[in-house]
Amino acid sequence: MQKLLNYKKEIALSLMLVFLLALIRMFEERFYDPFLAYFRSDYMEKPFPQYDSFKLFFSLFLRYSLNSLISIAIIQVLFKDLGLSKFAGILYLVFFILLIAVFFSILSFSDQENNLLLFYVRRFLIQPLFLLLFVPAFFYQNKISKKNNNS
């Protein structure tokens, strides 16, 4: 319990940042995303909705960027390692480029049989799922490097 009290500033800041991620989710209707209603319906039987490519790209970019910046801030608060935060930033950038290319490739060159793939690619673009992957991975990496340094 005493260890937790020693980290009350970090815990409060982390909770505030998680709350910001929740706010982005709460206000998701404000972002241009015709696929929001599409994936809430019986999308397996429906054609893709009409969309404006530029508006969709910039909306996905904005949402991904907001989620990524907040996620990197969470990583910095948790690990206090600027190098790790920069590495996470590079990973977020690389994953955005890959995911956005796959997303628009599916929309442009695919029929409806890939709508489940589109669902999951879009999910990684609009939700901070990488944070759920990076935090345990970075924690494990820190634990292993501390163990190796003590040996």
Q: How far apart are CA 142 and CA 42, in angstroms?
A: 44
Which residue, among 11, 58, 53, 45, has the nearest Cα to 116 in the 3D structure? Answer: 45
According to the model, what pLDDT value does residue 149 have? Answer: 81
**CA trace torsion 58, 43, 117, 100 (10° rounding):** -10
Q: How far apart are CA 93 and CA 142, in angstroms?
A: 22
Q: How far apart are CA 85 and CA 71, in angstroms?
A: 9
Q: How many CB atoms lie within 10 A of CB 48?
A: 17
According to the model, what pLDDT value does residue 7 have? Answer: 84
According to the model, what pLDDT value does residue 147 have? Answer: 83
According to the model, what pLDDT value does residue 1 have? Answer: 65
According to the model, what pLDDT value does residue 42 have? Answer: 83
Residue type, 83: G
Element (H, E) at 20: helix 8-26
Stated length of the chain: 151
User: Token digits for 106?
Assistant: 């599916």
Determine contact, residues 80/126, Cβ cutoff 8 Å. Answer: no
Determine contact, residues 59/68, Cβ cutoff 8 Å. Answer: no
Instruction: Please report, in tens digits, the pLDDT of each residue of the chain (151 residues total).
Output: 677 677 888 989 999 999 999 999 999 999 999 999 999 888 887 888 899 999 999 999 999 999 999 999 999 999 999 999 999 999 999 999 999 999 999 999 877 677 889 999 999 999 999 999 999 999 999 899 888 887 6
Phi, psi of 80 (to 5 degrees): 50, 50
